[in-house]
Amino acid sequence: MKKASIISVGNEILSGRTVDANCAYLSARLLSMGIPVVSAYTSRDDTEAIVRSLELACADADVVVTTGGLGPTEDDLTRNAVAEFLGVELEIRPGLVAELERFFVRRGLRMPERNRIQAYVPAGAEPIENSLGTAPGIRVETKGKLLFVLPGVPSEMKGMFEGSVVGQVEQFGGGQFVVVKRLRCFGAGESTIAEMVGGIMERGRNPLVNCTVNQDGITLDIVATSENREMAAEMAAKDEEVLRARLGDLVFGTGEQILGEVVGQELSRQGKTLAVAESCTGGLVAKLLTDVAGASRYFRCGWVTYDNRAKMAELGVGAELIERYGAVSEEVSRAMAAGARREAGVDFAIGITGIAGPTGATEQKPVGLVYISVDFHQGCDTKRCTFPQDRASVRRRAALTALNMVRLKLKA
C-alpha cells in the first residue's frame, strides 16, 4: 500500500499563532484516496530544517505533500529547500513570470519586484498552477517518490490539491481503497466502550477500529482497506453491524452527526416539539438545538432562568420548592421542565439546574452536580449527574446528557 507524509512549513505554526488545519485536510483527503498518512512534520522557516523534513518524509512515504513557505518574502524558503534536497538549482520560468504579471494586472496593480522570486522552480520540477494566488506550486518525482509543494493559504492549497494533485495521486495510488465508517456514541466512557467492543479494536487488524474521545462523546472509526472498493465497504459494514450490536443505544449517529441534529431529526420525524428551561447550562442546550438549520420545526422556546425570580415568574416554579430543596435539586429541575412544557405547549421539555462552578458549591452540593429532567405526557424522568471537570465541560456534558435523554425517550 502506498503511504503519504505531510510537511507543514512556517514559524506561525510553531509559535502557536496558527492552528495547522491544512494537515488535517490533506490527511483526510489522502486517506479517502487509499493513501494513509503515516507521519507529519512541522518545520520552521529555515532551509536546513525544511530539507531535513523532506528527507524524513521521503523515507517514510511514497507521496509527500508540503504546505507553506512559497510566498514572496524573505522567510519563504521552501522552494530553496526543495532545490537543495534535489541537489539542483532554482531556475526562472518565463511562463510563470508572465502569469504572475497577469495576476497583478487583473487587480489593476503592477507586480512588485519581490514577487519575481515566485517564478523560480527547481530544475527538472514542474510548476503547479495557482488560480487563486501568486504562489505557484511545485511537483517533482524523485527516486520513485511523488513530491507536491503547495502554498500555506488554505483556499489556495485546497484549490491546487483538488485541481492538480488529486488526479496524479490517484494514478500513482495503485489500487488500494479505504472506506471509513464512523460511529458516534454517547453515554459511556472510553474504557467501558472498549470493554464492550472487545478484540475488534486490536492493532494491526483490518478493518482497523480507532476510538477517539472528545467533548461531544466517543467516536469509533472503522477503517477498512482492500484492493477492491466494494470489498472494503463490505468489511466496514460488517464491523459496523458487530459494533452496533455490542453498543446498542450508546450509538447515536454516524459520520459527522451531532446529538442536537439526531434529536432534531427524530423529533421532526415523529412530529413532536420541544422546549428547554436552563439554569446552569445558560442557553447551551437551546444553542446546540438551534445550531441545526430547520430547528424551528420542532424547537419552540427556551428559557434561561438564571435567577430564581425568573424560575418562579417564567416557569411557575414554587418559591417553597426553592426554599425547601434549593435551586439545585431534583424537585426544581422537575418543576422547571413541567413549567416549560406547560408554558410552551410542547411534547417534551427539558429542565436543568446545577452547579457549573468553580464557585457555588456547598458540602451537600459539589461543583459538577446537575439535575436534568425531561417532562413528557406520561411523566417526568430525572437524572442526577456529577460531572468531574471544569465549568465549560460541566455545562457541555450536562447539555449533551439532556439531549441524549430526549433521544432515548424518543426511541422508547
Name residues contacting a copy of itself, limited to 367-406 (CB under 8 A): 386, 388-393, 395
Residue 108 binding a copy of itself, by CB under 8 A: yes
Respond yes or no on whether the N-terminal peptide bond of residue 207 is cis (omega within 30° of 0): yes
378: which residues sit within 8 A by CB, 6+ positions away? none
For a copy of itself, the closer of residues 26 and 125 by Cβ is 26
CB of 298 vs a copy of itself, minimal distance in Å? 10
CB of 242 vs a copy of itself, minimal distance in Å? 17
Question: Amino acid identity, residue 332?
Answer: V
Residue 24 binding a copy of itself, by CB under 8 A: yes
User: Which one of residues 89, 213, 227, 362 is an interface residue with a copy of itself (CB under 8 A)?
Assistant: 213
Instruction: Report how far residue 200's alpha carbon sits from residue 207's, in angstroms, rounded to the nearest whole number.
Output: 9
Segment near a copy of itself (CB under 8 A), from 162-170, 213-221, 229-237, 374-382? 213-221
Q: Under rule CB under 8 A, which residues in 347-366 are in contact with a copy of itself? A: 356-359
For a copy of itself, the closer of residues 186 and 299 by Cβ is 299
Q: In Å, how far from its chain's centre is CA 302?
A: 27
CB of 286 vs a copy of itself, minimal distance in Å? 3
Closest listed residue to residue 374, CA positions, set 401, 343, 411: 401
For a copy of itself, the closer of residues 32 and 228 by Cβ is 32
For a copy of itself, the closer of residues 140 and 341 by Cβ is 341
- What are the φ/ψ torsions at residue 23 (nearest 5 degrees)? -60, -45
Segment near a copy of itself (CB under 8 A), from 82-90, 91-99, 161-169, 293-301? 293-301
Q: What character string, x for contact with a copy of itself (CB under 8 A) and - otherwise, covers 151-190?
A: --x-x---x--------------------x--------xx
Q: Under rule CB under 8 A, which residues in 269-288 are in contact with a copy of itself? A: 276, 278, 280-287
Which residues, in sequence order, are bridge partners of residue 380? 375
Q: What character string, x for contact with a copy of itself (CB under 8 A) and - otherwise, covers 35-54?
A: -xxxxxxxxxxx--x-----
CA pseudo-torsion sign 102, 103, 107, 110: negative
Q: Under rule CB under 8 A, which residues in 218-277 are in contact with a copy of itself? A: 219, 221, 223, 276
- What are the φ/ψ torsions at residue 321 (nearest 5 degrees)? -65, -50
Q: Under rule CB under 8 A, which residues in 75-104 are in contact with a copy of itself? A: 75, 103
Instruction: Report how far residue 128's alpha carbon sits from residue 138's, in angstroms, rounded to the nearest whole number.
Output: 5
For a copy of itself, the closer of residues 78 and 115 by Cβ is 115
Which residues, in sequence order, are bridge partners of residue 116? none
Dump the DSSP string for 375-397.
EETTEEEEEEEE--S-HHHHHHH
Take residue 48 and report the three cell numbers written for it. 536546513
Closest listed residue to residue 275, CA positions, set 260, 261, 289, 265: 289
3-class DSSP state for residue 91? strand
CB of 206 vs a copy of itself, minimal distance in Å? 14
Query: 53, 7 in Cβ contact below 8 A?
Result: yes
